[in-house]
Structure 1
Amino acid sequence: MISSTSSRFATFLLLSVALLVAIPLAVLSFYNHPSPADDYCFANTAMQYGFWQAQQFYYDGWSGRFFHNFIVHSSPLTIGWYGGYKIYPLVLLALLIASVYALASQWLYGFDTRTKVTFAAGLFIGFAAMLAGLAEFLYWYAGMACYSLSCVLFLFLLATLLAHGRQGFRLQAKYIVTEALLITGIIGSSETSMVMVMSLLGLLALGELIQQRRLSATMLVLLIVSAVGCYYLITAPGNAVRMGSNANSSNISLTLTSSLRYAVGYVTRQLFATPLLPMSLLYLPIAYRLTAQPLPAYLRIHPLLALLHGGATVLVLISLHFYGVGIAPVPRLVNIINLVFWLSWGYNLTLWVARLRPRFQPALWQPYAKPALVGIAVWVTLTVWFGPVVHMVYEDLWNGRPQAYDRAMQQRYEQLTTSGDSQAVLAPLPVYPASMFLEDVKDNPEHLWNRCWADYYHKKTIVLKANTEREGLTQ
């Protein structure tokens, strides 16, 4: 369907844009620091009560997210390792790249390496360049433990399930143990992640029932594992405490109306403000090759059923925050919704190509391939550059905000570790780099972030001087 020259151009385009996205994200990691938002509070709890007792404290008193609790209470702050906050974003970024390539390798099993790399680069761009909350995904440890890591684990789970599926989902210990661990980690990260993985398992189980009239032993094992994980997440005593603290939670009518309105705007933005459509055009020749007979079981699902499943999953993910706290999903939740939307879109697009394949006439498209690729290149570059991540990151780096932020934080550490145990009065940060900064301590010494900082540094109180003149401050 596409010449080798055009194929190489597509690979070059997507790899170039992927590097345009990845390199500055890696550079920013060297200026990262623990955030006053939650990071110090989790560290204090682990240091005061012990690693295991701290997790039990949160499970009983605030959150049933058992895997998240495990990660946050083992943060670098618990051993005073500030350098760990410059390393973990690099590790997370490397894991994200590895996971998209693992998925590409299994989804395009039997394809050449260049095609797999091209597909992986496209998926990485579509996710990383469109992150609704970059700081929350990559540079905030508590957010990484709750949401970001589950996205990476989900991609690895998809790759493992595809590899296992080629073996007929037989009872093979290496696959089942890996899948069970990944499922448990994803479910234990957050309620949003739980819905994401249960939706996937539900689709796989439904496909088996439709095509085989029974569930395989492997699927039964995975469903049991997921059910146990869901039970411990949902029934945690801390969840009732957290939900009960918000008067706007559990409003069903508000959830339904608000979710539908939000979904309309969300889908519109995905179609016209992201590289989704040009990426889809680049994927069509790959999907055409992928859907050559014989089709694997997961590509024999009826497209309308898959479309209904994908739409329902995205809508449920959107509704979770409306149901929980009565407001639209915050950026760290939108990051997960974006991943599910893009994966579902690609899957549905493949199913429709399989269904309509006899009507394709590749020879008729060949003369238009080169001019189309030029247009797609411009389209992808513009949507990525003016998206929520790339322009912001390069602007911060160009203006030196991360470097100034890093110097100011080092000065704060020196002040906090060399002064006595009395009140510490901190000067406001000179800049708030939007690409990596989440929240600062407040001018109210009783605020939770201030109290956690004060406890960590053995101060009576910590106060932030009032100053509204700061560069780079974003809402």
Structure 2
Amino acid sequence: MKQSITNLSPLRNAVALFLFGLALLPLLILSFYNHPSAVDDFCFADTALKYGIWQGQKFYYDGWTGRYFSNLVVHASPLVWGWYDAYRFIPALLVIAWIASLYSLVSELLPTLFIGTRLIAVGLIFFLYVLVLPSPVESFFWLAAVASYTIPTIFSFYLLTVIIRWYSIRHQPLKTLTTIWACFLVFAIVGSSETNLVWVLLVLGGLLGYQLVFLRRLDWFLVGLLVMALFSTWLLFRAPGNAIRMGGNPHSGDFLFSTGAAFGYLAGAIVEWVIKTPVLLLGILWIPIVRRLARSDHPARRFFMIHPLLAVLFWLGLLGGLIFPSYYGIGIAPAPRVMNVTYTFFLLGWFYVITVWVVHTERRIWFDRRLKMAQSVWITGIAALWIAANVYKSNSLRQIYGDWLSGRAAAYNRDMTDRQRILNDPAIEVAHLPVLSATPPTLFNNDIDPADPQHLWNRCEAGYYGKKVVILDSLTAKKP
């Protein structure tokens, strides 16, 4: 039967496409102004070139962190292979991969929706993500943060897709290969950061617990994935470097303090996200869209057939769990890159919980009245005004567009290219680098030290290029 876009007018579709493009276009453009960061990128590359990728891994595993997979990514970065210009493409590829992996997840969860509706849903979620993105530079542009948080987030979307798809596979060899692939994804996600470790353990443990308690059955596929997750967790936490890292703060390792602080911080973040984004009104407009799934007998419906209260409690527990490692591990509030991940799962959980509620209440007598309210032109109009106000006040969009349209990104690119010419000159042993005339926050997080040529970042960049030392020409940058 031919499907049409469920209850969405052409005008709404056009608005959704516009919002998606509003968030996507500047990120793709800024990608081509991107350069490796003086913070960590050259240190990882220099270590790998001097000692080898495996030994570089071991240095970090023994001396700082057990994040074995993200460490592998940064120690095998394009800099190690001499491909400097790859950093101009990495952000764009990550943005596309983020969107594509989310689309694959939405398609598995909501297969009854027309493809256009799924694209609109993914586009709006991406727009919401960028609208109040805590740190664009740490989400797509700085490789050290990307390896620990964005890449495993993309893997997380795809892992959920693979888990859902596994149950519909009938061909046994393919099912076995899919199991192996899912185990690898678990291994990679857990080995990227403690934040990702928490969500894997909570989600797999929650799915298994739900099946045992409510369905009275044991799912050996999920058992296998949980065993892999526990092994990966052991591999991460047994690293000697973790003890060194946790030893620097008196609050690290304090369970009660960490739990209270994590949920307190989460409460403030949720209030901010609800105020600064139109999730409330878009959630209402989401109701008629997922009604098709709620009324169908499609097998995908079972993924939403849990009690809404249970879904809310698990969602909030998961969000608090994502923040918990920051307080428990190093005793401080979560970094913006951690909140990038937490905000991602806030958005996914928000629309998942609404879908659970729709499935749970679809056959109630009063549901049609709520649905008519959701379809009201007044709701659509209020949502449009709210979105416009949120776009106008969005710090992240202002930052991204400001870096592009003001010329800061172009000036930064010119200055970094000039530095490259100096650093690549084999006749220069002491490299005097020009001070950056612009430091666009979307692309730039820090620079080599202007006062201490022996600072770690200076030494790493000098070592990577085979220079005795790198020095900034001036302590004062010129404004663009």
1:327 to 302, 327, 332: 332
Instruction: State, as a whole percentage, how many aligned pairs show the same letter.
Output: 34
- The answer for the alignment partner of 1:395 in structure 2 is 402
Distance in 2 between residues matched to 1:56 and 1:78, nearest whole Å: 17
Partner residue in 2 for 1:455:
463
Structure 2 Cα separation of the partners of residues 151 and 421 of structure 1: 42
The corresponding residue for 1:174 is: 177
Q: Show the counterpart of 2:233.
A: 230
Report deviation, 1:290. 2.1
Matched, 1:302 2:307: yes
> In the TM superposition, what is the alpha-carbon distance from 1:13 to its structure 2 partner?
1.5
Question: What are the within-5 Å matches in structure 2 for residues 6-17 of structure 1?
Answer: 6-17=8-19
TM-score by length of 2: 0.91
Contact 2:6 2:117 in 1 (8 A): no
Question: Which amino acid is the alignment partner of residue 17 of structure 1?
Answer: L
Other-structure match for 2:318 = 313
Partner of 1:94: 96
Distance 1:188-1:130 versus aligned 2 partners, 3 A rule: same
Q: 1:288 to 1:471 in 2, by over 3 A?
A: farther
| More deviation, 458-467/128-137 | 458-467
C-alpha deviation, 1:169, in angstroms = 12
Paired with 2:395 and 2:171, the residues of 1 have a C-alpha distance of 40
1:19 corresponds to: 21
Contact persistence 2:438–2:479 (CA under 8 A): yes
| Aligned-partner SS, 2:253 | coil
Counterpart of 1:442?
449
Separation in 1, partners of 2:342, 2:58:
29
For residues 322 and 303 of structure 1, do their structure 2 counterparts lie closer, same or farther at Cα, with a shift above 3 Å needed? same
Distance 1:286 1:3, change over 3 A: closer
Cα 1:341/1:199, change in 2 over 3 Å: same
Larger mean Cα displacement after TM superposition, 399-408 or 461-470: 461-470
1:44 pairs with one of 32, 46, 50: 46
Q: 1:109 to 1:5 in 2, by over 3 A?
A: closer
Write the letter of the residue equivalent to 1:82. Y
TM-score (norm 1): 0.92
Correspondence for 1:292 among 282, 291, 295 = 295
Task: Measure how far apart 1:21 and its partner are.
Answer: 0.8
The structure 2 residue matched to 1:464, chosen from 446, 452, 472, is 472
CA distance in 2, matches of 1:367, 1:319: 36
Greater CA drift, 14-23 or 413-422: 413-422
Which one-letter code corresponds to 2:459 in the other structure?
R
Gaps of 5+ in 1: none
Task: Tell me how far apart the structure 2 counterparts of residues 67 and 141 of structure 1 sit (CA, whole Å).
Answer: 13
Q: How many Å separate the matches in 1 of 2:135 and 2:350?
A: 21
1:313/1:470 Cα in 2 relative to 1: closer, same or farther (>3 Å)? farther
State the Cα distance separating 1:56 from its structure 2 match: 2.2
Q: What is the Cα deviation at residue 367 of structure 1?
A: 9.8
- Counterparts of 1:200-219 in structure 2 under 5 Å? 200-219=203-222
1:4 shift after superposition: 6.5
2: CA distance, partners of 1:211 / 1:174 = 29
The residue aligned with 1:279 is: 282
* Equivalence map 1:182-193=2 (5 Å): 182-193=185-196
Deviation (angstroms), 1:124: 1.5
The 8 Å contact of residues 169 and 218 in structure 1, kept in 2 or not, is answered as no
Partner of residue 53 from structure 1, selected from 46, 52, 55? 55
Task: Determine if contact 1:420/1:459 at 8 Å carries over to the other structure.
Answer: no
Number of residue pairs matched by the alignment: 471
Partner of 2:355: 350
1:263 CA displacement = 2.0
Segment drifting more, 62-71 vs 19-28: 62-71
Unaligned runs of 5+ in 2: none
Matches of 1:419 and 1:96, distance apart in 2:
39
Q: Secondary structure at the match of 1:462?
A: strand
User: 1:61, CA displacement in angstroms?
Assistant: 2.1
Amino acid at match of 2:54: W
* 1:104 corresponds to: 106
- How many Å separate the matches in 1 of 2:182 and 2:371? 43
